[in-house]
Structure 1
């Protein structure tokens, strides 16, 4: 018999703040974390803005010597994981058996920042000056590996690398581990730190990024004037726990993970399939998995990247899956405030989805000023709305045709 899986802890480092309370508070107020890029000289770039993490000091969360041997995305993952475990009031070896707690943290790109820095040293100073830690610093699985070491988690340890669906796939796959009874608890989510010179050059040259220099309006999902996504960085971590295990230790519960859908477009390396065909199937799978009727969904935290194709096709997919009910539910993109955290986006948005259920509020899509005739649903424009939420979907869609949908519901 399948186990019920609930969420008992949350942790995040993102452009809105370095803790859940600050981040969620800004989401509800419709405050953006996007600013002019400060990491390096942008004079040769058309792109000028990003969602940078501010005031993050790794040694506040981990040993300074070990932190220096971690890439920035791994530091984010470790910090957010410790935050989530503290929020869950769980100590490995005391509240959960070390062999019954695992880690599944995804990253779309990994430590590309460290690779770029070390490559410059290689070219300018020769191979002997390359760090012996470069390989374990830039490989994407090291976030999961380091979190396991830092927290002593000895069950399933894995990493999903599915571009912008990485965080959502990691949560969904970790959900399956607990659901099957292979672990009592999983530390799951995504981490990314790819605001680098090469990443920006690549995304910019494929015209995926917004070249709007105004931080206040660059990320505008579903708006007719949208012209690309705003890259961002950070991490989101959820503690998934088997229900009876959580109840036995008196854990607080944010909500229940009720369903998961994962599909492939088999269409194009960067462009989503027309009408969001792959996304349609992911949403239908999640609904079927959770035994939820389409008309019971109250709100969707959309992938909503602010790119022409994604926002249109995701809207079309929602209409196909939900039919007339698409006009009764509400949809918003919190990327309007955070920017696009790539492999961490699905995890951060899962957190916002659970908090939306917990506090009965729908986050807004800020910067939505000019409606697009082809997109006529309720995108919760500009301001959050109070609403009792029982069932919420969160979509994540990635380059390569990866589609992931997570279904959350109020715990009863």
Structure 2
């Protein structure tokens, strides 16, 4: 029985509100907001001048200088989060029985844009031989493998904003299929470039509340006007429960269910009735062999876009029923962190684990004005003591990507 169950034995995070799991979680429940004016590049010619940057971050504090030179910033976030998760897990598995799955929406986009700018400015194509590996999405997993001697399955998932959550799901599938006994699931992202700010602005996806950055990310609020770009990394170690028990690991929680599907509707907009999100959540519950009434907390995708938040609310009501949906605490941590894209699925999964273990539902910050179409209990502005045994984490992305994860308290 234990062999078919999956334990989470390690966690790591680097976010705009904390450079490790402890600081991330503590700042999350203390209402710290990581959004501010962009420092990474000059946004003066752009309509959006705000983002949730990882602050006070020097990669050389965590990684060898040579490795820093040869890696994109998203890879650095992946490496740092993984380092923390593996140390937390203290995993001891045969090297070819541990795997890696990394999720990222845009991989080395920072290196791509800065390199093109260099070529244009200098009118020269003389480049470092390390440029191409810094751009490739799968090199984050390769660097993790090289550093930690991991020789099992290695996959990189690119499913837009659900990539981190799908990394966890794919990791569970590798374990359940017998291809690995443990897998490090990682989500990492840094899209903070002028190209991405301009592109997302033209799609009217971003908040333009430049005068009040800390008020800009407003999930489910009536006056929400788009998401705020964020960056960071998260990592969790998934392990066969029987092995974790045998080695007396510190088991944080169990992964009970995972589902992924697609809307088959539009490349950027969710299907208006929420059919894909509804189906995805139902499938995750079915895999976990749970009823909706057994879920105690939901970490919503909740990016603060007008349509996205409304459709997710509609989908939650369809899955849980109108009355029950209004009783379950639902929060979006993106009010604090901004939208971490591929990293969000993992950092929000970690928030669910912490919520279960601490008995605290994190808040939805900047929720001040109720929208009649978004009328659930969004845990507005302050964390709340809640007895949480089962949590759901939703991640939805461009292309109609839908992912739901079900996390449960570990029961001996």
TM-score range, shorter chain: over 0.9
Distance 1:202 1:217 in 2: 22
Equivalent residue, structure 2, for 1:13: 14
Distance 2:377 2:36 in 1: 27
Distance 1:32 1:308 in 2: 21
Equivalent residue, structure 2, for 1:373: 372
Equivalent residue, structure 2, for 1:145: 142
295-304 vs 273-282, which deviates more? 273-282
Do structure 1's residue 169 and structure 2's residue 170 form an aligned pair? no
> CA shift at 1:152, angstroms?
1.0
> CA shift at 1:130, angstroms?
2.0
Distance 2:45 2:122 in 1: 25
Do structure 1's residue 264 and structure 2's residue 262 form an aligned pair? yes
Equivalent residue, structure 2, for 1:410: 409
Unaligned runs of 5+ in 1: none
Distance 1:250 1:201 in 2: 50
Equivalent residue, structure 1, for 2:240: 242
Equivalent residue, structure 2, for 1:361: 360
> CA shift at 1:109, angstroms?
0.4
Q: 2:190 aligns with which of 190, 193, 213?
A: 193
Equivalent residue, structure 2, for 1:399: 398
Distance 2:60 2:374 in 1: 46
User: 1:265, 1:272 within 8 Å by CA — same for their partners in 2?
Assistant: yes
Distance 2:189 2:86 in 1: 20
Deviations 1:23-58 (A, max 9, x none): 100111111111111112221112121110012222
Equivalent residue, structure 2, for 1:226: 224
> CA shift at 1:17, angstroms?
1.0
> CA shift at 1:135, angstroms?
1.5
Secondary structure (helix, strand or coil) at the match of 1:192 reads strand
Do structure 1's residue 98 and structure 2's residue 95 form an aligned pair? yes
Secondary structure (helix, strand or coil) at the match of 1:216 reads helix
Q: How does 1:180-329 map to 2 (within 5 A)?
A: 180-213=177-210, 214-323=212-321, 324-329=323-328
User: 1:168, 1:346 within 8 Å by CA — same for their partners in 2?
Assistant: yes
> CA shift at 1:123, angstroms?
2.5
Distance 2:273 2:209 in 1: 27
Alpha-carbon RMSD across the aligned residues, in angstroms, is 1.1
> CA shift at 1:381, angstroms?
0.4
320-329 vs 14-23, which deviates more? 320-329
User: 1:102, 1:187 within 8 Å by CA — same for their partners in 2?
Assistant: yes
Distance 1:397 1:127 in 2: 40
Distance 1:218 1:211 in 2: 7
Deviations 1:202-228 (A, max 9, x none): 001111000001122100000000000
Distance 2:372 2:292 in 1: 24
Secondary structure (helix, strand or coil) at the match of 2:63 reads coil
Equivalent residue, structure 2, for 1:45: 46
Secondary structure (helix, strand or coil) at the match of 1:347 reads helix
Deviations 1:97-142 (A, max 9, x none): 1011110011100111111111122233345422222211111122
Change (3 A) 1:312 1:76: same
Distance 1:181 1:5 in 2: 12
Deviations 1:372-407 (A, max 9, x none): 011111000010110111110000000011100010
Secondary structure (helix, strand or coil) at the match of 2:393 reads strand
Task: Report the TM-score when normalising by structure 2.
Answer: 0.97
Distance 1:240 1:308 in 2: 35
Task: Report the TM-score when normalising by structure 1.
Answer: 0.97
Do structure 1's residue 28 and structure 2's residue 25 form an aligned pair? no
Unaligned runs of 5+ in 2: none
Aligned length: 408
> CA shift at 1:343, angstroms?
1.0
Secondary structure (helix, strand or coil) at the match of 2:395 reads strand
User: 1:9, 1:84 within 8 Å by CA — same for their partners in 2?
Assistant: yes
Do structure 1's residue 4 and structure 2's residue 5 form an aligned pair? yes
Secondary structure (helix, strand or coil) at the match of 2:218 reads coil
Distance 1:15 1:331 in 2: 22
> CA shift at 1:335, angstroms?
0.3
Equivalent residue, structure 2, for 1:87: 88
Do structure 1's residue 111 and structure 2's residue 105 form an aligned pair? no
Secondary structure (helix, strand or coil) at the match of 2:275 reads helix
> CA shift at 1:189, angstroms?
2.2
